[in-house]
Structure formats: structure tokens, C-alpha cells
Amino acid sequence: MHKLTRLLVVATLLLGCVGCDQVTKGFARVYLSHAPTISFLHDTVRITYAENPGSFLSLGATLSRSARVAIFQAGVGFLVLGLIWAALFWQGLSRSHVVAITLIGASGLGNLIDRVLNNGLVTDFLNIGIGQVRTGIFNVADIIGVLGVLVFLIFRGSATPPPDHSTKRTREKSRTA
């Protein structure tokens, strides 16, 4: 993938995904924080406000504040930087892998912004399921992360092999000989 194309893909995905995530979380904080749960599609989709101090399914929520800051802010911050760096500069990635890594990075960045701006809490507001079989409460950043993992898994065998310069050199040598 050309460097400028890669930069545009990564920047567009980051801005679009993180922007959408932050707008929906802002909406949830303003309009859902004191509202009752709203149900759609025969209770398949619920809109309900929650603030999560932990990670997926509130894992780590009972850790001390300093441990949560170290793991969920510093650790995730370094991971997000690494993912964005890889999406921008790691040679041999296919376009689908650049997209997948950027989506995963955007997911982490969206929740990281929430933690930094909201005293270590992530705003969640979506829940899906049937009857008692339900997901945890999640947000748009979580959807983006899952989408990134799915793209990565679907296209896991499509990495672009590094260019083989030996064939080119052999042809050039045979032409000059």
C-alpha cells in the first residue's frame, strides 16, 4: 500500500471511528444518564446508561484506582500507540490488516479518551440479547474493536509478502551481461 494511501486510510478510520464513538458517548451522558432503560425490537436491544471502571464485562473494576490507571490508561495508551504505529509503518501488511489494526487501535483510543476525561470511567449504553441471554453493556468503541478483530481473522492469510528483490537483480544482471 502506498504511504499516502495508508496515511489517509488510517487517519480517516481513526477520525471517523473515534469521532462517532465520542459523539454517541456524549449523547449517552447527556440524555441517558438519568433516563430509564429504553427497549427496542421486543427487548432485543436495550439502551441503558452505565459507567464502567473496568474493561470488558467490568473485568478489573475492583482493582485499586492506581492499578486501573496503570493498566487501563498507561498500558492501553502504549498499546494504542503501538497499534497506530504498526498500521502506519509496519511493512508487509495487506490493506485489510491495516484496516483491522487501525480499527482495534481506534477502539482502544475511544475508550482511553473516555477514561482520561471521565475520571477513569468508560461510558457504556448498549445491550443486546434475547430473554436472559444478554451481552454486557457496551459502546461504539467496543463494536469497532470487535469489527477490527473480525476483519483481522477473516483476512489473516492475506499478508502482503515482502518484495523479492533477488529476482529483479537477477534480471538486471542478465540484461547487462
User: Read out DSSP for 10-26?
Assistant: HHHHHHHHHHHHHHHHH
User: What cell does 121 get?
Assistant: 470511567
Q: In this predicted structure, what is the pLDDT of residue 139?
A: 97
Q: In this predicted structure, what is the pLDDT of residue 162?
A: 52
Q: In this predicted structure, what is the pLDDT of residue 1?
A: 75
Give me the number of domains the chain comprises: 1
Q: In this predicted structure, what is the pLDDT of residue 10?
A: 98
Q: Are 138 and 111 in contact (CB under 8 A)?
A: no
Q: In this predicted structure, what is the pLDDT of residue 171?
A: 54
pLDDT tens track of the chain, all 177 residues?
789 999 999 999 999 999 999 999 999 999 999 999 999 999 999 999 999 999 988 889 999 999 999 999 999 999 999 999 999 999 989 999 999 999 999 999 999 999 999 999 999 999 999 999 999 999 999 999 999 999 999 998 765 555 555 555 555 555 555
Q: In this predicted structure, what is the pLDDT of residue 56?
A: 83
Q: In this predicted structure, what is the pLDDT of residue 163?
A: 54
129: containing domain: 3-176
Residue among 25, 36, 169, 50 at smallest CA distance from 107: 25
Cα distance between the two ends of the chain: 34
Structure pTM?
0.85
